[in-house]
Every structure is written in structure tokens, then in C-alpha cells.
Structure 1
Amino acid sequence: MAPLHGPLAEGVHTLKLSDVVLRYHVHGTGPVCLAHPGGPGIDWEYLRVPELERHLTMVYVEPAGTGGSTRLSTHPHGYTRELYSRHLAELIAQLPVDRVHLLGHSHGGFVAQYHAVHRPERLAGVVLYESAPVTGAEHGEEVARQVGEFAARHAGRPELPAVMAAFGSVPAIGDDAAMVAAARGIVPAYVADYWADQPRWNQFRQALRATYISGRDEHGRPDLFDDREALATLRLPVLVVVGRHDVVCGVRWAEELHKLIPGARLLVLEHSGHFGHLEEPDLFARGVAAFVTGCR
């Protein structure tokens, strides 16, 4: 497939939406797949997958408030799933293709499943990558359990206290610097075997950039959800991807998504944590590419 032109030409793009200027990046050739990063607030670069760009035209979105996209007047509040979904719809409407695939990682998965439920018209399929059907207390309890198991497995590591301190700092995050420090600090718990290739993951940590986004609406209310009932009504092709060792959106949630969503497929990356596209990039790319081309 020849490279696309206009809004899908290779490189960096900006698009004036109804309330923000959105920046996005296009790489690769093939069917179009939008990628929404996690956080909320983590900059897009960590999610780039060159292996996938050999098969797909990847459109990496910089959500409102992050990177080169503008901030809301209510920043750091107001960045709800509804807002992100509306921005995705406005972006997709400008693309010269009938339908696109949508890949959401972590919090981006929360956005992708919301968009699939509420605005499915231009979607050919959805990849829920390290997502979960619910947030709030139930999700938090599972994260605490998984992080506790991580700490027990690595009790002798001298770096462990700093990792646990980074987790403890998350509720008090209030600015960009604290967000970056916490995001970098928790990385050892987010990969399957951080200490097997520590220099590589230290480099990854230092490259992470982030913006503090509160996770609350413009009135200060937490943007929590339980999508279980809604997800059971989905009639789009869905691929659920999870790393076996993910502590934040792990196998428990992936299996629940797989059972909830009619016809959903499940890909478990046995040697990955939260970043399977980096830990097992070839397997991740083959699985996602096969799903997208199969949907066509």
C-alpha cells in the first residue's frame, strides 16, 4: 500500500478542533490505526511501535493537555473520557478513509472502549491494550494486591524502596514534575523483568515525559466508571492484549473484558508486563497486525 497523503501523510500534524489544537504523528503504511496513550498525561513517544508501522499506518495521538496539544482552560481538570472521545471523533472525521482501527493503551484503553460504545460509526475494530472494565475501589484493590506481590518477589532488591515510594507518591501528585517523577519511579514494577536489562529500562525511564492531569472532570469529580454492562453490547471486532505480569491492568481484567465483549479475541504476552509492545515487540506487532488485516 502506497503512503497516504494529506492528513495521513508521514510526519507531524496539527488539527484545530472545537476547543483545542490537537497534534498527532503519522508513521508507516497500511490500514489506519489510531493509538491513544495512557496516563492520563503520558506523552505519546513511549507507545511508538516501529514493528507495527511495517503493516499499518499508525496515527499516534497527543491527547489534549499533553505534549504539543493545547491545554483546557480548566487544566488540570476536565480531561474526561467523553472529552477525549469527542476529540477522537473530530480527528477521525478529518481522515480520508471510511473507517479506522483504534488502539488504546492503559488509560487509553479506557478511552478506546468508551469511544467504541458511544461513537462506533467510523471504527473498523478496537484493540484494548492493558485496559480494564472498571476503575475505582475494585480496581485499586487489585492494583494494591499485584504491587504487593511484586514487592514480595523482589524484597532483596536495593532499588525496591524507591519504587514503592514512587507508588506511594501517586495520590499526592499535583504538578508536572511530580507526575514525571512518579511515572519514571514505578517503571520497575511495570515490566516483567526490569533487572534483566536494567540499562535499557533506565534509558526508557529517563525518556518518559508527562503532564499532570487530575483524572477529574471540570467540577472536580473523579472520572470513574464501570463499563461492564455497556461492553456487553459492543458489536465491533475487539482484540484484548495483556502482559502476563502487568500489575495495573493485568490478566484478571483482560479475561473479564474477553468474556464480556461478544466475539472478542485475547492475546496474552507471557513475558511482558505493562509494556508488551517493548518487551515482546514482534509478537505484539504480529498479533495486532493480524487482527487489523483480518477485520478488513
Structure 2
Amino acid sequence: MQLGGWQTCAMFGEGVVRVCADPVVDLFVAETAGPAERTVLVVHGGPDWDGSYLRQPLVELGGECRVVLPDLRGCGRSTRGLADEQYSWDLVVADLLALLDARQVKTVDVVGFSTGGKIAQRVALAAPERVRRLVVASSNVVPVPPDAFDGWQERDRRHEAGARLANAEGVAGVELTRAWAWSSAPANVWRPDKLDEYLHRLEGVAFSGEWMRPYQAGLLSTVLPDDAVDRLAALGIPILLLHGRQDMTFPAALAEQAAKHIPSARAVVLEQAGHMAHIDQPDQWIAAVREFLA
């Protein structure tokens, strides 16, 4: 494993870490200063996004913790152009564990957001001895039932633009990923006064379309681990299920339901917060993470 040259950017150092030699996979990593024994591995969502939209407010943990925020393979400034079969959840988990090895981290706290929350569960299940605490943010442990959002008219209204985009012709790959992110913004951010801030963050995201290809070809397995509730309960790892009450992607009620069935888990549901709860309620969000990881 090799570590690229590092530069400082807004309290995050930035560099490249090689996590696989055949094929070559380099992960672009943003990292704060902090003690290695208190490393927080952050797994972004998408997956065809990068991790930049999560830097705030997680940067506030810098110094007291070492926050490590990689772009997953095929995402952001990490290696792209891999064959479709090289995009799998097992390989992502292997990359993340290799990253920890490269940074000489034996035990880590893991924060996974949205799709990253399900990848984080896979990390804990694959290497439970390396995960001290697990934060599943704006994600799910319980499968989402097909009728989960029936009758929620406000959600239907906010998703209308995205639904039109799904039927648009001539939009594919990275352009489709970008267009989806922008059109779904009103559904992802609950508070209207936070929408401009969110759109500004989207301007800085290096979107890709790498994961969309195998997804559309039916090559990707479901990212949520099978029997996640029972398997996580058996591990006994402390788990925080951090959610926005108005999340229009994963119902907040599922976080509360999962907490009732996993003895080591607790749910924190933030009011007046949507899927991007860290943007709607940044102070409450980072306070919940900090308290849990203390």
C-alpha cells in the first residue's frame, strides 16, 4: 500500500492511498489531524458521488478524532474506469479495510451515510473486531417496504421533478447522476432555508457514472446485508441510528424499529430534518455523533 503526497485543504489533508494492486485502485482520501487510536472512518453515499458533501460538520471532530473520508472506488477522485465486475460491495469493503491497514489503524469508529450506511454495516459484519462503534446515518437496517411512503403528499410533490427526469431521453452516466442530485435536492433537504447551502455543496461534488453501469445491467447485489438486524444484534457493537424525521428516502420509523430489535443500538431522530439531516440540523447532528463516539 502506498500513500501519496498530502496537502492541507480547509482542515482536511488530501492524498491518495493505493488499496489494490491488481487491478490498481487508488482511493482519494481527505483526513483531519487527530489521534490514530480515535480514527473515524466515514463512508459516503451515492455511490456515484464523492465524500465532499459530508465534510461539514464532520470537520468539527478533527483534532479530537482523526476523521478519514475516502472517495470509494469509481467515485470522486479515486480510480475510475474499472471493469463492471470490479464494482461490488465486497470489493469496496476490502478497499476500506486495506485503507485502514495502510494508515496503520487497528480499531475504528465507522460513520456511514445513506448508501454508505449499508456499506458500513458490511464493514462491521466482515471485520467486527476492527469496529468499535457504528453510526448508520440517513440509511436503513430494516428493508424499506413498498408502501412506506404511501399518502405522503409533500414527498410526492418534492419528488415530482426527479420523476420527470427519470423518463428524460439522452441523459446518462455522470450527467444523469448529476441531474438526479440537483432535481432531488428539494426532497433531500427539508428546510427551504437550507436549500441554497445544499446546492452550493453539490457544485463541488465530483460525480461519476461508474456504479450506474453495473446497476443498470443488473450486476449489482443489494447493498443492504441479508438479515442485517439479526446479524448486527449478534455482534453487540454499539450502534447509533441517526436520522431526520422528514427523510424521504429511508423512513425514520425504520430506524426506531431497528433500535427496538438490536439491544446495542439506539435511534436519534432529528426533527425538521430530511435525508440530508447533517445540512438541515448540523449542530444537532454533529452533537449526536460526538456524544455517541465519546
TM-score, structure 1 as length reference? 0.81
> Residue 216 of structure 1: CA displacement?
4.2
What amino acid is the match of 1:17?
V
Moved more, 53-62 or 224-233: 224-233
Structure 1 CA distance, aligned partners of 2:248 and 2:96? 28
Given that 1:64 and 1:72 are in contact with CA atoms closer than 8 Å, whether structure 2 keeps it comes out as no
1:36 to 19, 43, 59: 43
> Residue 239 of structure 1: CA displacement?
1.0
1:112 to 104, 120, 136: 120
**Structure 1 residues not aligned, in runs of 5+:** 1-5, 155-159
Given that 1:231 and 1:260 are in contact with CA atoms closer than 8 Å, whether structure 2 keeps it comes out as no
- Verify: 1:284 aligned to 2:291, yes or no: no
1:70 to 79, 82, 86: 79
Given that 2:59 and 2:67 are in contact with CA atoms closer than 8 Å, whether structure 1 keeps it comes out as no
Given that 1:240 and 1:267 are in contact with CA atoms closer than 8 Å, whether structure 2 keeps it comes out as yes
> Residue 134 of structure 1: CA displacement?
4.9
> Residue 236 of structure 1: CA displacement?
1.1
Q: Name the structure 2 match of 1:237.
A: 238
Q: 1:1-80 counterparts in 2 under 5 A?
A: 11-18=13-20, 19=23, 20-30=25-35, 31-48=38-55, 49-53=58-62, 55-71=64-80, 73-75=82-84, 78-80=86-88
Structure 1 CA distance, aligned partners of 2:82 and 2:49? 19
> Residue 204 of structure 1: CA displacement?
3.2
What amino acid is the match of 2:265?
A
Q: Name the structure 2 match of 1:249.
A: 250
Structure 1 CA distance, aligned partners of 2:145 and 2:44? 19
- Verify: 1:132 aligned to 2:133, yes or no: no
Q: 1:173-212 counterparts in 2 under 5 A?
A: 174-193=172-191, 195-212=192-209
Moved more, 77-86 or 110-119: 77-86
> Residue 250 of structure 1: CA displacement?
2.5
What amino acid is the match of 2:131?
L
Q: Tell me, what secondary structure is at the counterpart of 1:98? A: coil
Structure 2 CA distance, aligned partners of 1:284 and 1:174? 34
Given that 1:246 and 1:273 are in contact with CA atoms closer than 8 Å, whether structure 2 keeps it comes out as yes
Task: Decide whether aligned partners of structure 1 residues 258 and 105 sit closer, same or farther in structure 2, where only a CA change above 3 A counts.
Answer: same
**Structure 2 residues not aligned, in runs of 5+:** none
Q: Name the structure 2 match of 1:96.
A: 104
Structure 1 CA distance, aligned partners of 2:137 and 2:76? 22
What amino acid is the match of 1:44?
G
CA RMSD of aligned residues (A): 3.0
> Residue 72 of structure 1: CA displacement?
5.5
> Residue 139 of structure 1: CA displacement?
4.7
> Residue 29 of structure 1: CA displacement?
2.7
Structure 2 CA distance, aligned partners of 1:218 and 1:165? 18
> Residue 54 of structure 1: CA displacement?
5.4
Moved more, 215-224 or 255-264: 215-224
Structure 2 CA distance, aligned partners of 1:100 and 1:244? 28
Task: Decide whether aligned partners of structure 1 residues 260 and 183 sit closer, same or farther in structure 2, where only a CA change above 3 A counts.
Answer: same
Given that 2:194 and 2:280 are in contact with CA atoms closer than 8 Å, whether structure 1 keeps it comes out as no
Moved more, 46-55 or 59-68: 46-55
Structure 2 CA distance, aligned partners of 1:162 and 1:217? 22
Structure 1 CA distance, aligned partners of 2:151 and 2:232? 25
Alignment length (residue pairs):
275
Given that 1:104 and 1:129 are in contact with CA atoms closer than 8 Å, whether structure 2 keeps it comes out as yes
> Residue 55 of structure 1: CA displacement?
3.5
Q: Name the structure 1 match of 2:130.
A: 122
Q: Tell me, what secondary structure is at the counterpart of 2:49? A: coil
